[in-house]
Amino acid sequence: MMIARRTILVLAVAFLGTLVESTYHSRPLVPSNVKVFPTARAEDQAFWYAEAQNEIAQSLARTENNNVAKNVILFLGDGMSVATITAGRIYKGQQLGQSGEEYKLVWEDFPDLAMIKTYDVDRQVPDSASTATAYLCGVKSNYYTTGVDSSVKLEDCMSVTEESKLSSIAVWALEAGKRTGFVTSTRVSHATPSALYAHSASREWECDASLPLGTALRCPDTKDIARQLIEDYPGSDFNVIMGGGYSCLSGDAVETPGDPINLEYGCVRADGRNLFDQWTINQEAKGRRHAAVRTFTDLKAVNASDVDYILGVFANDHVAYEHLKRELNLDMPTLADMTEAAISVLQASDAGYFLLVEGGRIDLAHHDNLANTALDETAAFDDAIRRALSLVNTEETLVIVTSDHSHVATINGYPHRGQDITGFSGIMDDGLPLPTITYTNGPGWIGSYVVDENGNAARRNLTDDDVTSYDYVHSAGALRYSETHGGDDVALFAVGPMSHLFQRTHEQSFIAHAMAYAACIGPNLDHCAQP
C-alpha cells in the first residue's frame, strides 16, 4: 500500500510538472510594452569557434608584467556586485544601440581576475567602512568601524587606542615619497574614503553633530572624521581630495554653489568650524601651491601644473547622481572629470602616486531600490576608468577595479536576448509582468503588493509602470527602509605591474598587501631590493 501511494504521488508530480512546463512554454513571455534591442552580428557556429580561438590566442600571447608599480589606482565601485556588473554591461551596450549582452565594460578586458571574500570579523555581510579598512589597511575589522582593528567595538570610543589604529596604503605611499589622494561621488568623510585617513569606532561620526552625547567627557581625544581628514596626518598631506559633504566640513551648508538639490544635510557642523577654509589656511601656512574649488567651473579653471594640492567639495551631501547632472545642467563635475583632474595633479611627481576613485552612488541607488540609477552610475564608473586609462601607462601603473560588497539585486525571469535590461523580463505564473531586476528586500516592497478582498497579499499589476525611469523603485520581496548589502564574493580585475598577484579567491585584506608589494611600499618596502 505504501509503495502504491508513493507511485501515485510521483506520477501526479510528474504530470503537474509537464502541465506547468507546457503552460510556461505557451505563455507569451515578452510584455507588449517591452523594448528589444537587435543583435547586429550573425552568431552561427563559425562565429563562436572564431570567438574561442581569438580568446585562446590572447591568453597564450600574454606575458606577466613584473615591473615595480610607480603608480597605483584603485577603482572601487561601491556595492558593485557581479549582478550589477552584468546588468551594467547590458545597460551600457543598450545605450549604444546594441543588444547589450555582447558589450564589455572596459575593465572586463583586464588580464587578471580574482574573487574577493567580503565578510567582517563579526558579520557575514559587511558594510562599506569595515570593507574599506580591509582593502585599504590590510586588516579585517568589525562592522561599521573604520581605520581600526577588531579590538575596537562599534560606537565604543574608549576602545580606540593607539595600538588599534591602522596605517593605510595612503600612509605607505606618503612614506615612500609618493603623492596620494582620493576621488569619490559620496561625501569626502563617508565610509570608503574614511579608512584612508581616519580611526573611528563608528563610520557615522562624520561631523561633530553626529558624535554621541558625552563623548567629549569620556573620550576627550576623539575627533569626528571630517576633522581627522583636514587636521591630522595623513589626510592633511593628501594631494587630492574630491567629492561632496560640505555640510560635514562647515555649518554654512546652504551656500554650496552648483548644488541646488541638497541644500542641507543632517550632519551639519555645530562647533562653528569651517574646515574647508581651514584647509586653505593650512596649505598657505606650509607654503604649498594649492587650490580649493566648489564647482566644475572652478575645477576647469585650475591649471594642474600650478598646484600640488587640491580640495574639491562639490555638494553639501553626496555628489549628485550623474543623470541629474545631465538633466539639470549642474555645475558639478562627473566622476570621470574628477578622475582626470586628480591624475593631472598626481602625475607631476617623479616618485609616482596612489589614487582611490570611488563610484559611491552605485551603492546608494541600490539601497533605495533604484536599479536603473545604479546601472547609470555603473556606466559613469566605466567612463571614469576609460578616462584614466587614456592618461596612464599600464606598464608602470597598476590599475585595479573591484567592489567592497554586493547587493541583493538580481537579474531574473527569462528575458529574451536584447530585451531592455531596465524593463520587464516577462509574464509570471500569476499573469503579471516582473521587472528584470528585482531585490530581495528594500523600500520597493511598498507598491509591489496589494491586499485582495480576502485580506491576502498579492502582487500589484505593474504593466502601466514606467519601470525604465531613473526614479522607479524596483520590486522587493521584503520590506526594509533601506535595502541591505549582500554577502556574496565580489570580483576584482587588474592590469599593470604585478597584476598577476590576483589569481584566485582572496581575503579582502589581501588587496592592500598586494598593492604594497607591487609598489614596494609599506609592509613590502624592502622586497624590491632582493634579486
Residue 436 annotated as binding site: no
Q: How far apart are CA 229 and CA 242, in angstroms?
A: 12
No. of helices (H) and no. of strands (E), the chain:
16, 19
Residue in 113, 173, 207 with CA at minimum distance from that of residue 349? 173
Only one residue has cell 549582478, namely 83
Residue 367 annotated as binding site: yes
For residue 193, how many C-alpha atoms fall within 13 Å in the half-sphere facing its CB? 34
42: which 3 cell numbers?
550573425
Residue 78 annotated as binding site: yes
Computed over its alpha carbons, how large is the radius of gyration of the chain?
A: 25
Q: Which of 99, 128, 200, 210 is catalytic?
A: 128
Residue in 471, 458, 453, 450 with CA at minimum distance from that of residue 428? 458
Residue 271 annotated as binding site: no
Beta-carbon count within 10 A of 386 CB:
14
DSSP string, 84-122: HHHHHHHHHHHHTTS-STT---GGGG-SEEEEEE---SS
Q: Which amino acid is at 78?
A: D
Residue 508 phi/psi, 5-degree rounding, is: -60, -30
Q: How far apart are CA 182 and CA 191, in angstroms?
A: 13
Q: How far apart are CA 375 and CA 266, in angstroms?
A: 27
3-class secondary structure, 76: strand
Contact 86, 410 (CB under 8 A): no
Residue in 247, 159, 250, 143 with CA at minimum distance from that of residue 203? 143
Residue 513 annotated as binding site: no
Q: How far apart are CA 432 and CA 19, in angstroms?
A: 19
Residue 358 annotated as binding site: yes
Only one residue has cell 590566442, namely 57
Residue 318 annotated as binding site: no
Residue 416 annotated as binding site: no
Q: Which residues of 450-483 are buried (b: 16+ CB within 10 A; e: fewer)?
A: eeeeeeeeeeeebeebebbebebbbbbeeebeeb
Q: Output the CA–CA distances (angstroms, integers) from residue 527 to 69, 169, 506, 518, in the order listed.
A: 13, 16, 21, 10
Active-site residue flag, 128 = yes
3-class secondary structure, 187: strand
Residue 25 annotated as binding site: no
Q: How far apart are CA 95 and CA 470, in angstroms?
A: 14
Q: Which residues are catalytic?
A: 128
Q: Which residues are annotated as a binding site for Zn(2+)?
A: 78, 363, 367, 404-405, 485
Question: Which segments are annotated as binding site?
Answer: 78, 190, 192, 358, 363, 367, 404-405, 485
Q: Which parts are annotated binding residues for Mg(2+)?
A: 78, 190, 192, 358
